[in-house]
Amino acid sequence: MKQAGIFITLEGVEGAGKSTAVASVAAFFSQRGLQVECSREPGGTPTAETIRHILLNPTAEALAEPAELMLLFAARAQHVAHRIKPALAAGKIMICDRFTDSSRAYQGAGRGMDRALIEILAKAAEQGLEPHLTLLLDLPVAAGLARAAARRGLTLRDRFEREPAEFFERIRAEFLQLAAQTPRIVIINAAKPLAEVQAQIHAVLQAKFPKIAARPLGEHHG
Ligand code: Z5A
């Protein structure tokens, strides 16, 4: 399937502000008349959302690590085939809260799973798809966990949120290492106040997509 649109992913540790940033990225494009679709992983299609429920449910049967890994990639394969690729073929801007870099960081560094296996599964699920741009929202783990806890209030922590701080430290370090090795990944300092984070995101989008940034702002609906 031909890929005419733009695929942007957001990554980071828990509570980094990815969901909030998705809205800023979406506004940049929709205000300039482009059609935008937002999604998340794990999830994004009915089957992938069912798998998400299994993955995050803290009260269900414990998941063996290989089962967790394969469920994540099964959800991703559905998402790529039935949502992301069709949106890109239609020329849309597809913005996704987490993608394969999360598997590299959480399952690779966090759980210590086989990196080569992760790349084989990624190849099978992605079918040649790669993000044009990845924004890594980086902040100290303690700050992210505090933001997430404040937002969660009294609701139960999910299966990942129950992991110790060291797990998230390994994940943060892996994300930073991936960014150092991968030109498509740009680091955003997510420890700053929201307005500053949004300004950093805007500057990255302006530099990466100058022709789109130059379009007049209007009352478009994407
Ligand atoms: N996972 C995996 O292991 N492997 C994979 O391949 C994939 C995922 C794809 C998905 O959980 C879990 O799946 C995830 C990794 C694993 N678990 N963890 N941990 P999720 O989607 O439920 O959770 P999440 O991705 O970690 O996102 P989150 O907790 O919703 O955080 P966020 O989206 O990054 O943050 P937010 O909701 O935008 O902001 C959090 C709060 O901070 C909120 O109240 C905001 O208003 C506030 N905020 C945001 N920005 C700021 C600034 N700049 N200053 C102050 N306050 C702010």
Q: What is the pLDDT of residues 180-202, one digit of tens each?
A: 999 999 999 999 999 999 999 99
Evaluate whether 150 touches 112 at the Cβ level (below 8 Å): no
Give me the pLDDT at residue 5, please: 97
Q: Is residue 219 part of a domain?
A: no
Q: Say how many Å lie between the CA of residue 20 and the centre of ligand 1.
A: 9
Q: What are phi and psi of 138, to 5 degrees?
A: -110, 135
Beta-carbon count within 10 A of 211 CB? 7
Give the total number of structural domains in the chain.
1
Give me the pLDDT at residue 2, please: 58
Q: pTM of this prediction?
A: 0.95
The parent domain of residue 48 ranges over: 6-213
Q: Which CATH number belongs to the domain containing residue 82 in this structure?
A: 3.40.50.300
Q: In the predicted model, what is the mean pLDDT of residues 81-86?
A: 98
pLDDT(124) > 50: yes
In whole angstroms, what is the distance from residue 39 CA to residue 24 CA? Answer: 14
Closest CA relative to residue 163, chosen from 19, 63, 72:
63
| Pocket test residue of 9, 20, 138, 202 for ligand 1, highest count of atoms within 8 A of CB | 20
Q: Is residue 24 part of a domain?
A: yes
Q: Is residue 105 part of a domain?
A: yes
Q: Is residue 1 part of a domain?
A: no
Q: In the predicted model, what is the mean pLDDT of residues 150-165?
A: 84
- Where is 217: in which H helix or E strand? none
**Nearest-CA residue for atom 48 of ligand 1:** 17
Q: Is residue 221 part of a domain?
A: no
Which atom from ligand 1 is nearest to the alpha carbon of 161? 19
Adjacent-strand bridge partners of 11 = 136
**Nearest-CA residue for atom 31 of ligand 1:** 15
Q: Is residue 104 part of a domain?
A: yes
Give me the pLDDT at residue 1, please: 55
pLDDT(70) > 70: yes
Q: Is residue 220 part of a domain?
A: no
Q: In the predicted model, what is the mean pLDDT of residues 135-143?
A: 97
Q: Is residue 106 part of a domain?
A: yes
Q: Fill in the amino acid letter for 43.
A: G
Give me the pLDDT at residue 3, please: 64
